[in-house]
Amino acid sequence: MTILWAVLGFSLLIGVLVTIHEWGHFAVARFFNVKVLTFSIGFGRAIYKKQRGETQYQIGLIPLGGYVKFLDERVDSVAEHEKARAFNQQSVYKRFAIVLAGPIINLIFAWLLFAVINMIGVSNLKPLFETPTNNSPLASAMTDLDGDHQAWWLVEVDHQPVSSWPRVQQAVLQGLVHDKASVTLSLQPFGTKADEQVNNQLVELPLSGLDLNNVKSNWLGELGFRPKPPNLAPLIDEVLDGSPAFKAGLQSGDRITAVNGQVINDWQALVRFVRLHPNESHLISYQRNQAQYDVMVRFEGVEQSGEQIGRLGASVDQTQLQQSEYYAIERYGVLGAFEQGLHQSVNLLNMTLVMFKKMLFGEVGLAHLSGPLSIADFSGQALQSGFISFLSLMALLSLSLGVLNLLPIPMLDGGHLMYYLVEMVRGRPVSERVEEIGYRIGLTLIVGLTILAFTNDLVRITNG
């Protein structure tokens, strides 16, 4: 089933992004009255094709890209009356615009997707964390704070508002990518009333202990953040088939009231007890339809981070979060959504360019490079997680596709743009010999990067 989701997610994702990219080339070419012979999504043998007007639209067998084929004297013989519409007969500025349109439309599409996401609204837990007691960078940074508080709201990172944990993760990653020694946190004590005037307290959190090359690292955890769990009532939402909860007859809607006669008031208290007692049987009291029941449940033992923990196999009713102070829905009006979307796009674009530079100069490892297998896995997970998750991944990959195609590598759009810039300066195009050499270099680079990306994918899959 996971493979099916991955295939479906990958097909939707790549299909949309490639179509958008090639449509950019197509639309600008048509604007300049350049004849388009073929509009293809995918490479290789056409498994579907349809002629509409002077253009053949088709889907190729290999779904890893696409292309637009123009009328061109360098490729095919062109009738005298159509020569003015051939791509090679256009001015260098028109050719430049046609090629540039593909990557640019991907960048614009990413912005539009982020704007749509911000209009729909994103639901997340607010960044509330327990006061660290461990020997961590965060604990050291907070030693001189005023007051004795059990938890803190994280309000800003580097003077930018953060309303959810994903925003915090992105802000820390941005600081790490830009080689910042530390980030400034603006904190507010937990329990502060909305109308209470409180001066936020500032701390400098060092990032020097984090390794950007460790792509699987929990950077927030390494810094010392321990998100404070919401105080949710012990109300069951779903029960996994075959789990201890399922075998004991527990159902959705049941409310856990006690374990071994000890009253349970919130879900986290139940979670803590279960985790500490793997492979043990305990008496659970629960309420169903105003009636009280007792049942013996043997908690399952599972491995996590090298230790045995108990597992019940039931999830908490998450709808309670929507009425709690721990929960935030980020939603904007039309203008605000486009402004926020542009801000997100620019920040991610900047981080992407910096990461490309770091990989090029060997400052970070090439393990960050993902191939089609990872993209398929991510897209399948995002598709199962919901519409917003899938749109977010699509926006991120659209932006990455736009940047990748602007790199000055022959075979990519950026390589053609580089040749056109040289032609603008010299007043004549580069020679066919130079183009041929560039093509071979570009092909070698693309094949090498593809093999590396596939290798990274296989390493990720085999290592779990």
At 407, which helix (H) or strand (E)? none
Task: Return d(Cα 371, Cα 369) in angstroms, integer.
Answer: 7
253, two tokens: 């809607």
Query: Distances from the Cα of 296 to the Cαs of 234, 261, 266, 436, in angstroms?
Result: 17, 12, 20, 75
- Region of 88 please: left (phi>0), alpha (psi -120 to 50) or beta: alpha
Question: Which sign does the torsion angle of CA 189, 190, 191, 195 carry?
Answer: positive
Task: Return d(Cα 351, Cα 171) in angstroms, integer.
Answer: 11
3-state secondary structure (DSSP) of residue 267: helix
184, two tokens: 């400034």
φ, ψ dihedrals at 415, nearest 5°? -65, -45
- Nearest alpha-carbon partner for 301 in 283, 280, 284: 280
φ, ψ dihedrals at 130, nearest 5°? -75, 145
Q: Which amino acid is at 401?
A: L
Instruction: Give residues with Cβ within 8 angstroms of 164, minimum separation 6.
Output: 122, 124, 125, 126, 127, 328, 330
Task: Return d(Cα 241, Cα 258) in angstroms, integer.
Answer: 23
Task: Return d(Cα 217, Cα 367) in angstroms, integer.
Answer: 13
- The residues assigned a catalytic role are 22
- The residue whose two tokens read 């800003």 is 156
Task: Return d(Cα 353, Cα 102) in angstroms, integer.
Answer: 18
Task: Return d(Cα 114, Cα 135) in angstroms, integer.
Answer: 38
CB atoms closer than 10 angstroms to residue 160: 15
Query: Distances from the Cα of 109 to the Cαs of 21, 22, 112, 122, 398, in angstroms?
Result: 9, 13, 5, 19, 7
